[in-house]
Amino acid sequence: MASKRSNFNRRKSFDAVRAVVNDVRVLVARGLTKSYGDVQALRGADLDVAPGQITALLGRNGAGKTTMISIIAGLLQPDSGSVELGGIDVFSNLDAAAKLTGIAPQETGVYGVLTVRENLEFFANLAGVGRTERASAAAEVADQLGLTELLDRRAGKLSGGEQRRLHTGCALVHRPQLLMLDEPTVGADVATRAQLIESVRSMANEGAAVIYTTHYLNEVEALDADNVIIDAGQVLARGTREELVEEHRLSGLEFTLDAPLDAAEVERLGATNTEGNTYRTTDDRPIGALIADLGSQSEGLLGIESLRPDLETVFLAVTGDRLDEGAS
Ligand code: ATP
């Protein structure tokens, strides 16, 4: 069973590698560095994204996520490194790159005096959508984000959650090949979150590559995203949750006995003592095999369970710290 699962995970890794080998990447960013005065925000970060792939950029406050996506969108010049979108160099082709990308920065940036429709059509125009297609593009996005009833309302008269949806809509109205959303659900209620997540999924299903930054790991799990963990301006890890769990040997079993094991027994079982009489294994051993290994000591078992590490545990293992500490 366990080896089947590892094969499955390995297979997924191979698929990811194959996508890169086939050179179907929308984005290839290499060796990005950026300092603001004394602050080194990025220290040689790489990022590859393929069509239809949702990449969650995870990191604590100040890790460098916004700096990275601002550079990828051509809004900020790196000190060194390169960004290619669909095979073109972003900084020598800013206009062409802008048509390929859509970015919704952290701060909501819609025009309060314009209606929802006018905002959507304005951003579609900026991204090169022709006059005749703008109205249908705006209507389609409004439908996708539940804004149809509000198309003729001024953006300044929308609620915070409605503005968030419009802000995201303006980034995707031209159906970009690369969509970047920087903490799109901050301050959004449950329904708005669900709508935004559904839109991200449908963009990816249509073939767009999506880069998504958030501090809400349940959203990342819901999106089944490929995770890129960034810390102090460097990419520390990349992979699906399952791949990262396997790579960092976080799966296994936890069991509690009615009496402590002696050190030699702990070693023989390949376990570690977590607390009290509770021990952990981090290999692929099934429960039955562990019970057999325990022999007569299994009579003292008070509990045994499979560890199902969540993304927070993975983040902690990779960075040595929790994601939500100090999160906004
Ligand atoms: P958050 O999760 O808080 O949004 P982040 O991962 O997006 O954080 P960045 O905004 O990229 O992080 O910031 C990276 C580092 O660069 C931080 O130390 C930040 O204080 C610093 N920084 C960002 N923008 C500027 C700026 N314009 N001037 C000076 N320092 C900056």
Q: Would you give per-residue pLDDT tens digits along the chain (328 residues)?
A: 334 444 444 444 444 444 444 456 789 999 999 999 999 999 999 999 999 999 999 999 999 999 999 999 999 999 999 999 988 999 998 888 888 999 999 888 889 999 999 999 999 999 888 888 999 999 999 999 999 999 999 999 998 889 999 999 999 999 999 999 999 888 888 888 888 899 999 999 989 999 999 989 889 988 989 999 999 999 999 999 888 888 877 778 999 999 999 999 999 999 999 899 999 998 888 899 999 999 999 999 999 998 878 888 888 888 887 666 444 4
327 close to ligand 1 (CB < 6 Angstrom): no
Identify whether the C-beta of residue 203 lies closer than 8 Å to the C-beta of residue 26. no
Copy the structure tokens of residue 222: 């819901």
| pLDDT for the residue 161 | 87
**One-letter amino acid identity for 49?**
V
* Residue nearest to ligand 1 atom 18, measured at CA: 62
| pLDDT for the residue 117 | 95
Burial of 37 from C-beta contacts in 10 A (0-12 / 13-18 / 19+): exposed
- 211 C-alpha vs ligand 1 centroid, how far in Å? 17
59 close to ligand 1 (CB < 6 Angstrom): yes
Q: Which atom of ligand 1 is nearest to the CA of 37?
A: 29
Cα angle at 202 between 201 and 203, to 5 degrees? Answer: 95
Measured CA to CA, the distance from residue 262 to residue 11 in angstroms comes to 39
29 Cβ contact list (under 8 Å, min separation 6): 45, 46, 47, 48, 68, 71, 72, 81, 82, 83, 84
36 close to ligand 1 (CB < 6 Angstrom): yes
41 close to ligand 1 (CB < 6 Angstrom): yes
* Residue nearest to ligand 1 atom 30, measured at CA: 36
Strands (E), the chain: 27-36, 39-49, 54-58, 80-85, 88-89, 101-104, 178-182, 209-213, 226-231, 234-239, 252-257, 271-275, 278-281, 301-307
Domains located in the chain, CATH noted = 2-239 (3.40.50.300), 251-308 (no CATH)
* Residue nearest to ligand 1 atom 16, measured at CA: 41
Copy the structure tokens of residue 136: 């249908």
| pLDDT for the residue 316 | 86
| pLDDT for the residue 324 | 64
Identify whether the C-beta of residue 88 lies closer than 8 Å to the C-beta of residue 97. yes
The SS3 of residue 324 is coil
Other beta carbons within 10 Å of 320: 9
* Residue nearest to ligand 1 atom 3, measured at CA: 61
Measured CA to CA, the distance from residue 141 to residue 179 in angstroms comes to 14
Measured CA to CA, the distance from residue 161 to residue 200 in angstroms comes to 16
Measured CA to CA, the distance from residue 182 to residue 278 in angstroms comes to 41
Ligand 1, from 32, 58, 65: best to mutate by most atoms within 8 Å of Cβ? 65
Going 56 to 60 to 65 to 66, the CA torsion angle's sign is: positive
Measured CA to CA, the distance from residue 206 to residue 178 in angstroms comes to 12
The single-letter DSSP state of residue 113 is T
